[in-house]
Amino acid sequence: MTFLVVGESLVDIVVPAGGGDRHDAVGGSCLNVAVGLSRLDVPTTLMTRIGDDRLGEMIVDHVQASAVRLSEGSVVPGGVTSTATAHLDEQHAATYDFEIVWDLPTQALPDGTTGLHVGSLGSALAPGRAAVVDLVRQAVDADVFVSYDPNIRPFFLDDAARAWHEVLEIAGGTRLLKLSDEDLRLLRPDDAEDDVCRQLLSSGRTELVVLTRGEKGAKAFTDGAVIDVPAPATDVVDTVGAGDSFMAATLAMLNDWGVLTGGEGALSALDDDRVELLVRGAITAAAITCSRRGANPPRRPELPAAWPAG
In a domain, 120, yes or no: yes
In a domain, 240, yes or no: yes
In a domain, 50, yes or no: yes
Is pLDDT of 21 > 80? no
How far apart, in whole angstroms, are the C-alpha atoms of residue 270 and residue 47?
A: 30
Contact 44, 117 (CB under 8 A): no
DSSP structure string for 1-62: -EEEEES--EEEEEE-TTS---EEEEE-HHHHHHHHHHHTT--EEEE--EESSHHHHHHHHH
How far apart, in whole angstroms, are the C-alpha atoms of residue 114 and residue 143?
A: 10
Contact 62, 47 (CB under 8 A): no
Is pLDDT of 13 > 80? no
Is pLDDT of 64 > 70? yes
Mean pLDDT of 79-91: 83
**Residue 94: partners with Cβ closer than 8 Å, 6 or more residues away:** 14, 86, 87, 88, 238, 239, 240
Is pLDDT of 88 > 80? no
Contact 134, 278 (CB under 8 A): no
Mean pLDDT of 187-195: 96
How far apart, in whole angstroms, are the C-alpha atoms of residue 205 and residue 56?
A: 36
In a domain, 27, yes or no: yes
Cross-strand partners of 226: 221
In a domain, 92, yes or no: yes
Overall pTM > 0.75: yes
Domain count along the chain: 1
In a domain, 309, yes or no: no
- pLDDT tens-place string over residues 118-136: 999 999 999 999 999 999 9
In a domain, 307, yes or no: no
Is pLDDT of 310 > 70? no
For residue 271, the enclosing domain spans 2-300
Compute the mean pLDDT over every residue in the chain, rounded to the nearest whole number.
93
How far apart, in whole angstroms, are the C-alpha atoms of residue 294 and residue 278?
A: 24
- Sign (positive/negative) of CA torsion 128, 85, 188, 222? positive
- pLDDT tens-place string over residues 230-287: 988 888 888 888 999 999 999 999 999 999 999 999 999 999 999 999 999 999 999 9
DSSP structure string for the chain: -EEEEES--EEEEEE-TTS---EEEEE-HHHHHHHHHHHTT--EEEE--EESSHHHHHHHHHHHHTTPEEPTT-EETT---EEEEEEE-TT--EEEEEE----PPP-PPPTTEEEEEEEGGGGTSTTHHHHHHHHHHHHHHTT-EEEEE----GGG-S-HHHHHHHHHHHHTT-SEEEEEHHHHHHH-TTS-HHHHHHHHHTSTT--EEEEE-GGG-EEEE-SS-EEEEPPPP---S--TTHHHHHHHHHHHHHHHTT-TTS-TTTTTTS-HHHHHHHHHHHHHHHHHHHTSSSS-PPPGGGS-TTTT--
In a domain, 194, yes or no: yes
Is pLDDT of 1 > 90? no
Any idea what the CATH number is for the domain that residue 84 is in?
A: 3.40.1190.20
Most confident of 43-52, 85-94, 232-241: 43-52
